[in-house]
A and B are shown apart, each in its own frame.
Chain A
């Protein structure tokens, strides 16, 4: 176990690699380069990791059956999928093997099924299977009978969208990586051998810079190189989360027949035992406007109830929106400027969670092909990460948990304390939610807010309690 001191940024150090952006791609990148032996610093402009596009997605581990044929996206998804299978047990990351059904709801969609299945087979996903309306009803009895047909994609799975990248970064840290949060890149210069990067509080030196800045990828490119080969076109997606009782209404991921621009509205279980509906796909200028709109939420609810009529009796526990870093291109934008020791990883739109490990390996291969080599750490360290998924025994079932604090999500005092400690201690309520799920249940903090404000006092930039009560004596 490393002490906290050694995981902090060292101004004197020249890192092999600086990664800009601690989203899912940045975390996977940090892991890959650290376990290959590079010295790594990952910097994040937000108070905590996973605060941009990575904080809101549908948590599906995609096979890539519907990715563009022959695309970089497809090869990264497939490689990422494969590596996730290989490492998930060692990192104690759960997989919920739900499978997916692509459902056609009208004749037009039904007519497109054959082409989609051909597409999937071209992508190497051979184990798909055509389903009649009757077979769909047998598999999913709560689904509306208006489903006309579809096909089964058995290896589309549901994973934990936050613990996974958290575990990647923890493994990076345990193999020597360092993390700097609240550190936005303001400027930088390359002198032919080294980069010198400036954040408001720190100067950082490194040999190679990797831009994983997601929604701000083009901005970071421009800041450091004066230009960017892509332009981010933010696409907002709003989601609804139903309470845990709704989880029993489906077993598979229910996918629509995708359109040219979007995968469409998905209904799936979450690994936390809820039911998720979304996302919408709304083009917008803003890169940080993750507001929800009543009209869109109503639209999602109607859509969900059309697909699963019994949802009309179920409680909605949360609504949220995420922003995907799309570009005008349909493929990822990964460029290696060998001369400037600079790699830009951009346009990782909605498939980042599935592809992150694959993207990291792809980038590492480009890097090592340029002649870089490091000493692989021996032995490789594997962190222990407390599972928060419902598929695993949770902390509340174990002794000395300190009691349950968040009753809706059954989060224990010990879980909250652990999330507030260590090299990746939560720095914001958002970060604490992602690590533990506190306040994310049906009561949204009715019961636990007071305890949390006490436990987190002095730890967050934006505290839950802003002061003491006035003396009313």
Chain B
């Protein structure tokens, strides 16, 4: 029920207990919640800190979204709306403007909204807080700190949600998929980027994105890095350097830092849950169970970064595992086999542990990312034997999947080792 006399949306009161609380109402969280209801779980509550559920796609006013989920090509906001409608129809309770501020042992959550703080103790918690981009500060970019330095997320919410622009001629830093989303966002806001900058010798996103800057008349500088931001009140220029050490200054009124996604795991870091320093997300087993098995993690929180469709699918699978867990049908979380990666080329591996014995359920693959463009032999060793190997050609930010060996017998203290020899 909404109170029509108030300008504020009064959030629905959070229950003191429920079957499942889902933290974060983006594609993975909504998919998990919807699926849980479909599986017959009684009370499923999504806690969403923004004023509307839907997650990052809400800010991406361009296609393509929804091929996997709705069998059609939608813009981000339409897709987000459909996810929300589907969840509500399934009986999911969505609490917007509601922030989770503390995770405690055995699933107890501290929650705040316009009514102040309260506590919820669900039987099980799904964390699906997604990712954020790396802003300027942790990138250590030199220079003054003028207005006009943003991330794609901030730009998109300004343009698509508030119809306002922060600059007219920015330089876009990065060439991930999101960087091209930023390019499209600029176009729809009437912003003409001055350049697109990439430190490597090729774009990070897949090659279908390559013609976009040319079509939009935006120069793409490869082998080029940002050296300094210039400007007192607002950005007036940036200084760049290429691989040969040649510098140039580009006049612009903004700098858009795109991508370099990092899991939004701050809540976990401040709580009792273990975080994997390599990928930035929680340490999970093949079911997405965290170090406190009352908590499950799903979607981009697990690792940076996948498409909305991938996260949606992950959310659905996680819901299956949660339902099994509620029915006490998951293996215990006490016999764990660590998954270790060797060699500097491998950026991270998810899941980080396997609960043994492996049954029929749970993720069937390990997800890897490489930090550089490289070719070599990827192999999996367990108990002193190579159990899987393959030659691969890897690029940064591209998904690499390894099948989880089906026949892992518990060996005391043994780890699954992922090796890469170039």
Binds B, one of A117-125, A224-232, A317-325: A317-325
* B277 proximal to A (CB < 8 A): yes
Q: Is the CB of A446 within 8 A of B153?
A: yes
From A300, which residue of chain B is reached at the shortest CB distance? B140
A469 near B137 (CB under 8 angstroms)?
no
Q: Which 7 A-B pairs have the closest CB atoms?
A: A470-B190, A465-B164, A444-B135, A450-B157, A245-B269, A449-B154, A403-B97
Q: Which of A5-13, A99-107, A287-295 lies at the binding interface?
A: A287-295
Is A315 interfacial (CB 8 A cutoff)? Answer: yes
Pair A288/B99 contact, Cβ less than 8 Å: no
**Cross-chain contact B49 with A404 (CB below 8 angstroms):** yes
Interface string of B175-211 (1 = CB under 8 A from A): 0000000000001111000000000000000000000
Measured CB to CB, the closest approach of chain A to B167, in angstroms, equals 7
Q: Is the CB of B190 within 8 A of A469?
A: yes
Q: Which residue of A lies closest to B112 (CB)?
A: A396
Judging by beta carbons under 8 Å apart, are B99 and A410 in contact?
A: yes
> Is the C-beta of A472 less than 8 angstroms from some C-beta in chain B?
yes
Excluding A466-B167, A469-B190, 8 further A-B contacts by CB distance (< 8 Å) are A291-B143, A291-B228, A397-B117, A410-B101, A443-B135, A466-B166, A468-B164, A468-B165
- For B226, the closest partner residue in chain A by CB is A294
Contact A462 B233 (CB under 8 A): yes
A281 part of interface (Cβ distance < 8 Å): no
A400 within 8 A of B: yes
Q: Which residues between 366 and 397 of chain A lie within 8 Å of chain B, taking CB atoms?
A: 396-397
Q: Is the CB of A446 within 8 A of B135?
A: yes
**B163 with A466: CB separation less than 8 A:** no
Of B99, B154, B277, which one neighbours A445 at CB under 8 angstroms? B154
Report B-chain residues with C-beta under 8 Å of the C-beta of A289.
Answer: 144
Interface residues of B (CB under 8 A from A): 8, 11, 49-51, 97, 99, 101, 112-117, 132-133, 135-138, 140-145, 147, 150-151, 153-154, 157-159, 161-168, 187-190, 228, 232-234, 262, 266, 269-270, 277
Assembly CA distance A407 to B264 (angstroms): 11
The reply on A261 being an interface residue by CB < 8 A is: no
Min CB gap A53→B, angstroms: 16
Q: At the interface, yes or no: A429 with Cβ under 8 Å from chain B?
A: yes
Residues of A within 8 A of B147 (CB): 429, 462, 464
Q: Residue-by-residue, is A118-137 near B (CB-CB < 8 Å gives 1, otherwise 0)? A: 00000000000000000000
Residues of chain B within 8 A (CB-CB) of A464 are 147, 158, 164, 166
- CA A403 – CA B48 in complex, angstroms? 11
Provide the bound-state CA to CA distance between A454 and B159, in Å. 11
Tell me how far the C-beta of A400 lies from the nearest C-beta in chain B, rounded to whole angstroms: 6
Quick check: is A401 within 8 A (CB to CB) of the other chain?
yes
Could you list 18 A-B pairs, sorted by A, with CB under 8 Å? Answer: A244-B270, A315-B262, A316-B138, A404-B49, A404-B112, A442-B266, A444-B136, A446-B135, A446-B154, A447-B153, A449-B154, A453-B158, A464-B147, A466-B164, A467-B165, A469-B163, A469-B189, A470-B189
Q: How far apart are the CA atoms of A457 and B269 in the complex, in Å?
A: 35
Q: Which of A320, A407, A408, A454 has the most CB of B within 10 A?
A: A407
